[in-house]
Every structure is written in structure tokens, then in C-alpha cells.
Structure 1
Amino acid sequence: MSTSGPRPIADLTRLARVKEQRAWYFYDWANSAFATTVAGVLFAPYLIAIAEEAAVDDRISVLGLSVAPGALPSFVITASTVISAVLLPLLGAVADRTEKKKQLLAGFAWVGSAFAALLFFVTGDNWQLGAVSFIVANLCFGASAVFNDAILCLISDEEERDQVSSRGWALGYAGGGLLLALNFVLVSFHESFGLTEAMAVRISMLSAALWWAGFTIIPFRGLRNHPTAHVEPTEGNVLARSFGQLWATLRDIRQYPVALTFLVAYLFFNDGIQTVIASASIYGVEELGFSTGTVLATYLLVQAVAVAGALGFGRAAARYGAKRVILAGLTGWMVIVTAALFLPAGAIVPFLVLGSGIGIVLGGTQALSRSYFSLLIPRGKEAEYFSFYHAMERGTSWLGTLVFGLVFQFTGSYRPAIFALIGFFVIGGALLMKVDTRRGIEDAGNEVPEVL
């Protein structure tokens, strides 16, 4: 008679998490099309060209203010972020009170992609339609990312989170890069397709909207709804309860000073990162004199390098800890904006080298910031805390874009504007050095990973 005990049962919980993680990765794949093709490369130069058609004495009137066409995209992004700062925390409070986070993610993604598709109809001198469409699309982009990152906490434990986040970012850069490659061919060889360059740009932006909408179906179908946990008790309807939870979080945030310190640090260094991303195409076309096709090719290089960079940063975090690796990435950003100040116009090789540098640090710093912050927030408030996080996050920076736009407005050159961003990395890095990782994780009631 056998004396061996019963065979161990497979860890079905782990298998279920892996299945959801694979579906979750595809939202980064989906929304990166908007982040790269539209926000990163084509929107800003195209909006400038449209605004220049409407300009009188090289100025347009924006809400009664005289604005240079070249500064318009920076101010459009700023406006989008001001609105985000008001709305996203409320959306986060709503999300924490419902199991239906995947429905909220997909809903905002599909509304955002619909407004992104309206950019196809921006022609002539109608810059107003372009500005409004981008503001709404960018707002929905940030809102959907709140729910996406909150879901990260539900489908991974503390030990897995750096790797899961990094894989998501890597797949995002791969997806965004693939569509960008197709759009590069379309824009660069538009005459071969019987198109004007403007029409090729419009089709490319439309393709990004359709990509975003279409691939969002994968996480919508593959994720499941998770029960809410540790939600503050409040009374009234959904809106009243959400305001109640938001007020409770604002009142009690002093209990999580480490998370608050990281948020302030992130406000600075991520504003710098997002402004570099949003302004790189303007810098390449307007200041360095490269064609739109050349800038697209450089973005392809950035996307390819960023895949390896995100995965590499994830592996480095497993060995050295996320905080140390993020600080190393911020040092790299300081070197990049300093080099950009002296980059010679029309010199393609230095421009490609600079693009490679951006790719190395881009995905890694963002992926690890997301997973690092998730360790510092209490369970049950993931969406609400990530809503504050995303009010400052990619495509929604406002301090950086405002500084960039103002420096250009007063100097007429993008060189001092891009170099001015070094201050954001210096301040953000200095604040991050003050963050006590172990204390922050313990204060939030989460498990402390083996490597900090």
C-alpha cells in the first residue's frame, strides 16, 4: 500500500493571474498607437501647419490670447492636463467603488479613439477642431490608464509587479512601433500611393485611432472583474460616495507620506519625460530641419530600443531595486536634454544616437515608476491613487509643456526650451532620493519584496 501523500494541486490562482496578465499586456499594445503615431510624432507638427494657415502676423488668437503657432501644441497639452487634474481623481474614486474596472477602461479607450479619429477631418485652417479633438482624446487616454494601472495591482503580487509592468510597457512599444513603421512608409512614400503628405498624415492618425479601439477588445474580453476591497464607507448615490471617498483619501493621505513624496517627485521628473516625448517631433522638424519622414524613422528606432530598455530595466530592478534603477534612468535623461541643446542642425547621426538614448531610458523609467508606486498605496484605493498619479502622467504633463512653450515664446528657439527641462529631472531625482521604500510599503500594508 502506498504511503505517499496526495499529489499537490496545481496553483490555479497563479495560472488565472498569468492568463489575465497576458490579456492586460495588450492594452499597452493598443494605446501606444495613439501615444506614438499621434501624440509623439504627427499631431504637433500637423497642428502647427494648420495653425500657420490661420495665423495673422505669425499669431493666432486662443481664448483672446495671442499665441505663436509653434507654441500651440504645448498649450493644448497643458489645457488637457488642467482638465485631467480636476476629473481624474473623481474617476478614480468611482473606479474603487465598482468591480467593473475593465468596462471603464474600455469605455474611455473607445471614446478617446473616436475623438482621435476626428483628427482625420482637421484640414485647411481649422486648428480648433484639432485642438478640441486632441484634448478629449488625451483626457480619455489618461482616464483609461488610471483603470489599467489599478488592474495591475489586482492581477499581480508584489514580487511580480516590476516584471509584469515592464512586460506591458515593452509590448506597448512593440505595438506602437509596428504601426509607426507602417505609417512611416505611408508618409515617406506618400506620392507612390497617390497621396499628398497631409493626407498621409491624416490617414496615419486615423489608423492609430482604429488600432487603439480594436486591440482594446483583447483586455476587455480577457480580464475579469475583481471584488472591491477596503472601501471607505460613505452614504448617498455613486457620485456622492465617490466624492466621500475622495475626501477621505485627501484627509488621510498624511498617513502615507512616502507615497505622497513619490507623487511629488513623479510630478517633476515625469513632466520632463512627457515634455521631451511630446516635443521631440517639433524639435526635430522645426529646430533641426529634418523632414517628417526622418523624424518618423527616428521614432521607429526609439520604439525598437525602448522594448529592450523596458525589459532590461525590469531585470535590473530585480537585482538592484526599482528606486536605484529609476534614479539611474533620470541621470540618463539629464544627459539627453543637455546633448539636445548642442545637437547640430541637419546632422542625422547625432540625432539617431540621441534617439537611441531616449529609447533606453524611456520605457524603463515609466514602467518601474508604475510598479514602484503600486507598492506604496493601500489596497482598495488603487484606482484613486493612480488617478492622482495619472494627472501627472504620460501625455498629461503641464508644468513641462508650459515651461517649454513659454521659453520658446520668449526666445524663439527650441534649444533653450528643451534644455530648460533638466530642472525637472534634477528636482524629481532629489525628491526620489528622499523616499524610504521599505517604510512606504509597510505603511501601505503591502508585502515587502526581497529586493528593494
Structure 2
Amino acid sequence: MFGPGDFFSPGLFHAHVTNLAYSPNHKCALSYIKAWGGTMSETAATAQPHAGADKKARVSWMLFDWAAQPFHTVILTFIFGPYFAHHIAASGAEAQTWWGWAVAIGGLIIAFLAPILGAISDATGPRKPYIALFSVLAIAGAFSMFFATPGTENAVMIALVGLVIAMIGFEFAAIFNNAMMPDLVSRKDLGELSGNGWALGYVGGVTSLIFILAFMATSDPETGKTLFGFTPLFGLDGFNYEGDRASGPFTAIWYLIFVIPLFLFVPDAAKKRAAKNAISLGLHKLWATIKTLPERRSYFAFLASSLFYRDGLNALYAFGGIYAAGVLGLSVTQVGIFGIIAAIAGALGAFLGGKADKKFGPKPVVAASCLILVLACLLVVSTTQTYVLFAFPVDPASSAPLLTFYFAGTLIGAFGGSIQAASRTLLVHQVRHEEVTEAFGLYAFSGRATAFIGPFAVAIATGISGSQQIGISPIVVLMLLGLIGLYFVKQKGPAD
């Protein structure tokens, strides 16, 4: 699962002001708002939290994760990514390089615009217009990827431009969807709502992936049949891999159908007069918060540490399919099976990680997960079609490399799930109770703002070396930096 829970919250400033307003120094907070041109009245700032939305609204909000997850599962990682490596790019190394640049550019655009658009949204109120706008980009970008036909002159450009547009659309739609969450339930129920949405996203990703593997994607190039032995649906030509390309339009249509309940049943924030200097207000508050971080060593160390291991993990998700296709020669179907295994392992890992978190605390879970992810990365890097663990040659017909990769993928799925779940708990340990909302906003923003580091590093290393194995090595370095940074993190901080 690529990136559930690591989006920037455009409600960051509003959440911080709300926390200040509930604190004993709320008058000071109100003075601060007025000094920077805000329009919030003391009555509004000190109003009690709402009772929450009804069940239909909450389920409709969670369906957004179900709707959007196939982009990460089907396009970014397990179907279109390997298709790009096998049939569009000239080689696996070229595919990894170009894919890395596209993901990095998309991430950089998102990081630059997220705080600005978030500030404007907080000042103007409603989020649905932004979700609608970026949904159009998401659908258009995903749909256009069908036209990346093998052997055509502009296939690489069509695929990569479509990827960047779709990525920007899906990510920004998710940002504004996440901003609606505090308006749906009371603060004590935010974790449950978020977790249920995350779980539904896993299910949506796996369901869409299984459907495409069973009924659309070409499994046997000699017969043009799917994994289940069917002729691809909708008249798609299996010999020309139209089913693999159609993963783009499938993702677009899936999203279009399942995002509709959000617009119909989820209440939106009321429209309000735009705050004076909304952009400068939001950016100034964010910068003011960042400047205080070095004084809080454990909190700062956690944000820095998580920045590295989340970048590494996200890059691992983004490049797993392309690496498997280029180095191990896995087919789209085999990579898809790997994706199903990893997603199931991720759900199980998050569940068992929560149990371990409850017994031992979050820091040991995060540290152990980070260490095992490093070992899993080394296992992947050390395995090719001709040897395992660098030193053990295997017969070209042997299934050992495939089984080794699947085993590593299971570890990545399981401990990737547990590290993300336990990280949220460890964050709560770093802050006071009244700072939790702001902390999660800053945590999400820092992850998105630096999400381009991993893809950039992989793209540069692959381009220079011409080797996918060497090119993937920066992910190991990022995970190790994250593990080292955890040494300076205290498990129990101001929240206690």
C-alpha cells in the first residue's frame, strides 16, 4: 500500500488555532489571529466540538479510500508500472529512471502547492470544490494512460505525463478529503474513522487488483489469456496488452463511481469570507511551528527519523513492481500476485503490530519494523534470476529467486503495515494532548514535502549506474537513517 495516512492536512493551521483556543492561553491565541488578519471571532474559536455526522456520511467519506486506492495499487505499483517496464521503456533501468523522475516531479509539485492550497481552503471553507477539481485531473490522467501503446513514438511521454497528472489529482483530492475528517466525528473517534478508511482502502486495492488480473491483464502472451484463463473482458486484445493498459481507464471509472457518495452524503464546511492574507497567515504559522522543533529534541528526532524511513518505504512501494519486472523478469501477473500477498500481509502486520504496540510500546515496534525492512531490501537487492543472496547461484529455471522475492515482499508488506500503524502512536508520545491534531498535520506534511527524495535518489543512482540493483540501494540508506534517528526518540514524552 502506497502512502495511506501520509498526506498533508490542509487543516493544519486551523487545528493549531483550535488547540490554542481550548488552552488556558486562548485569549493570547485570539490576539494572534487578529494580528495576522484572521476573521475568527472569539465565540467561534471557543465553540464546543460538534456532535458528528451520521453513519451514511462517515461511510461515504471512507469510500474515498476505496475509490482512490487502485491508483497506488494498480497503476503506480503492480499493473501499469510493470507494463511500462516490459513493453514501453527500452530497458528495466531506463524504466526505473524515467518512472523515478515522474514520481519525484509529481511529489515535488504536491509538496510545493499543498500548504498554499491548504491555507486558501481553510480561509474559504468548503473542500468539495477542490476535490471535484482534482478528481477531474485524476480521472483524465489515469484514463490517458491507455494510449501508451507499445511501439508508438510518444508512448513513454504519454505514460509519464498521464502518471504525473493522475498522481497530482489523486493526492490533492485525498488532501482535501482528509481535511473533512475532523468535521465528521468527535476528536476521540478520529483514530477509529481514519483506521476504518485505511482498512477499506486495502480491501479496495486488493479487490481491483484481483479483478484486473482475473479478467483483464494478459497472463500468457502466447494465448492472450488472463491469469484465470479468460479472454480479456470488453473486447480487449490480450496479444497487444490492452488489458494491462486498460488498468488506467479502469482506475478512473472505479474512482468516478465510488467517489459519488462523498459528494452526495458528506457534509462540507460552510462557506465563509476569505480571511485576509490567508496564504501568508498559513505559511507563517507553519514556519513558526517548525522553528520551535529543535527545542523539543525527541519530537524533532521522531519527525526527522520518520521522514527518512517513510520516504524509503514509499519509494520501495513505488519501485517494487518495476524492479521485479526488470531484474527478476517477473510478468505483470506474477507482480500482481506479489501485490496481493503484500497487501494481505500489510493488513495482518498492522493488526499484529498494534498488539505488540500495546504490550511493548510503539518505539520497539517501529525500530524492529525498520530493521526488518532494511533486511528485506537487502534480500531483494541480492537476488536476481541467476543467484540468491549474492553468493548462491541458481539454475535459470529455478523458482528460488521468485520465492525469495515473494518472501521479501511478505516481510515488506507486513512490517510496512506495522511501522505505519505504530508510528502514529509514537507521534502521540511526543506531544501534549492539546497538540495532537497539529502534530499529525505536521507529520503528514513533512512526509509529503520530502516524498520526492526517495524517487529522486533512485532515479539518479539508476541513471548513473545503469543498474536497477545499484539504483534501488538508496532505499536501504534511507531506512538505515530512519533507524539511527530513532535512537534519539523517547517513547514516553509530554503526552504522559
Question: Please, which moves more after superposition, 322-331 or 25-34?
Answer: 322-331
Match for residue 260 of structure 2? 217
8 A Cα contact 2:75 2:248, kept in partner: yes
Match for residue 66 of structure 2? 29
In 2, the alpha carbon distance for the partners of 1:162 and 1:321 equals 17
Cα gap change, 1:309 to 1:392, in 2 (>3 Å): farther
Identity of aligned residues (%): 23
Q: RMSD between aligned alpha carbons?
A: 3.5
In 2, the alpha carbon distance for the partners of 1:361 and 1:354 equals 11
Does 2:194 align with 1:165?
A: yes
Match for residue 460 of structure 2? 406
In 1, the alpha carbon distance for the partners of 2:347 and 2:140 equals 28
8 A Cα contact 2:96 2:323, kept in partner: no
Match for residue 408 of structure 2? 354
One-letter identity of the residue aligned with 2:461: V
Cα gap change, 1:255 to 1:429, in 2 (>3 Å): same
Match for residue 299 of structure 1? 339
Q: Shift of the alpha carbon at 1:423?
A: 1.7
One-letter identity of the residue aligned with 1:282: I
Unaligned regions of 5+ residues in structure 2, if any? 1-48, 226-230, 386-398
Match for residue 266 of structure 1? 306
Q: Shift of the alpha carbon at 1:146?
A: 2.2
Match for residue 391 of structure 1? 448
8 A Cα contact 2:52 2:183, kept in partner: no
In 1, the alpha carbon distance for the partners of 2:128 and 2:445 equals 19
Q: Deviations over 1:331-377 (max 9, x none)?
A: 22112102112224252222221221122123333345457658858
1:127-138 alignment, distance < 5 Å: 127-138=156-167
In 2, the alpha carbon distance for the partners of 1:344 and 1:38 equals 24
Q: Shift of the alpha carbon at 1:418?
A: 2.8
8 A Cα contact 1:269 1:427, kept in partner: yes
Match for residue 287 of structure 2? 250
In 2, the alpha carbon distance for the partners of 1:428 and 1:154 equals 33
Q: Shift of the alpha carbon at 1:273?
A: 0.6
Cα gap change, 1:336 to 1:106, in 2 (>3 Å): farther
Does 2:282 align with 1:282?
A: no
Q: Among 326, 331, 356, which residue is 2:371 paired with?
A: 331
Match for residue 6 of structure 1? none
One-letter identity of the residue aligned with 2:106: S
Q: Shift of the alpha carbon at 1:300?
A: 1.5
Q: Shift of the alpha carbon at 1:17?
A: 6.7
Does 2:407 align with 1:364?
A: no
8 A Cα contact 1:170 1:308, kept in partner: no
8 A Cα contact 1:323 1:372, kept in partner: yes
Q: Shift of the alpha carbon at 1:112?
A: 1.3
Q: Shift of the alpha carbon at 1:429?
A: 2.8
Does 2:108 align with 1:82?
A: yes
Unaligned regions of 5+ residues in structure 1, if any? 1-11, 60-66, 442-447
In 2, the alpha carbon distance for the partners of 1:95 and 1:319 equals 40
One-letter identity of the residue aligned with 1:391: R
Cα gap change, 1:433 to 1:216, in 2 (>3 Å): farther
Question: Please, which moves more after superposition, 408-417 or 12-21?
Answer: 12-21
In 2, the alpha carbon distance for the partners of 1:380 and 1:106 equals 26
Q: Among 202, 213, 237, which residue is 1:184 paired with?
A: 213
